[in-house]
Amino acid sequence: MQFKKLILLFLIQFSSILVGQNANDFAFVLSERAVNKVFTAVGEISGRNGYEVLGIVDGHYNWKVVNPKINFKPDSSDFTCDAKVEVGPFSYKSQVLGRVKITYDNKTNLISIKITSAVFELYTMVLGKKIHIKDIHLEDYFKDPFLFEGPRSFATDMAFTMPDSTLKQIYVQPTQCIMKVSKQIIKISCDIEAQDKPFKKEIKVTTPVQTTGTGKKDTIKR
């Protein structure tokens, strides 16, 4: 009982700090830092395959993604990393700038963060001339989005002692949530709904985050 009251008080205080004069009752924040901790846990993304250019030069190439990061921005969030490439005896590093799509689904209560585009060129040098081999599309290795549960799971209930000494149960849950992406944070502001009967529970299935490749696959190491 006391613990649930503390949860409600926390929600009220959290709301006043984050929402300020906004008409919404409650705000949920997911930080850029938290998302990149999950990204780091995915592990190393690298590839290897054979190549042939001009019909006379062939060999193997290796590439590896380093310093990957998703950046939250109000206008257009992005993905950045460095790609370290080795093509035979030739090696180089490319800076990659990609696009990220962020959405929130009220029905499933899921925040989706998806890398939609991130490309770097694979090339070699022959007699001092740059020869294009192919483009590596990193988004192909992140076909499934990163999924995070949103604020609608923060439901609670509490009991109040009535004048006749009976206990009345009150149920509270966030509703009508709106997402806004700001610098380094995703904020979802919600109204809350309160009633004296339990809310109907929605059954949902969340698929795990996976990394996959498509097309002519490099040998991928994670």
Residue 183 lies in a domain: no
Helices (H) and strands (E) in the chain, counts: 2, 13
CA distance linking residue 136 with residue 43, whole number of Å: 18
For the CA atoms of the chain, what is the radius of gyration?
Answer: 24
pLDDT at 1 over 50: no
pLDDT band at 23 (very low <50, low <70, confident <90, very high): low
Longest Cα separation, the chain: 94
Q: What is the mean pLDDT of residues 113-140?
A: 93
Q: How many domains does the chain have?
A: 1
Residue 190 lies in a domain: no
* Per-residue confidence (pLDDT) for residue 205, from 0 to 100: 44
Residues 158-182: pLDDT tens digits? 888 888 888 888 888 888 899 999 9
pLDDT at 61 over 50: yes
Q: What is the mean pLDDT of residues 22-37?
A: 87
| Domain boundaries, position 65 | 2-48+58-150+201-221
Q: Is 41 helix (H, G, I), strand (E, B) or coil?
A: helix
Residue 12 lies in a domain: yes
Residue 32 lies in a domain: yes
pLDDT band at 22 (very low <50, low <70, confident <90, very high): low
Residue 28 lies in a domain: yes
For residues 97 and 76, the answer to whether their CB atoms sit within 8 Å is: no
Total residue length of the chain? 222
Q: Write the CB contacts of 110 (distance below 8 Å, at least 6 apart in sequence).
A: 104, 147, 148, 149, 150, 206
- Read off the pTM: 0.74
Residue 26 lies in a domain: yes
pLDDT band at 138 (very low <50, low <70, confident <90, very high): very high
Residue 166 lies in a domain: no
Helix (H) or strand (E) holding 46: strand 46-53
pLDDT band at 137 (very low <50, low <70, confident <90, very high): very high
Q: Is 13 helix (H, G, I), strand (E, B) or coil?
A: helix
pLDDT band at 126 (very low <50, low <70, confident <90, very high): confident
Decide which of 24 and 73 is more confident.
73
Choose the weakest-confidence range: 57-61, 140-144, 171-175, 218-222.
218-222
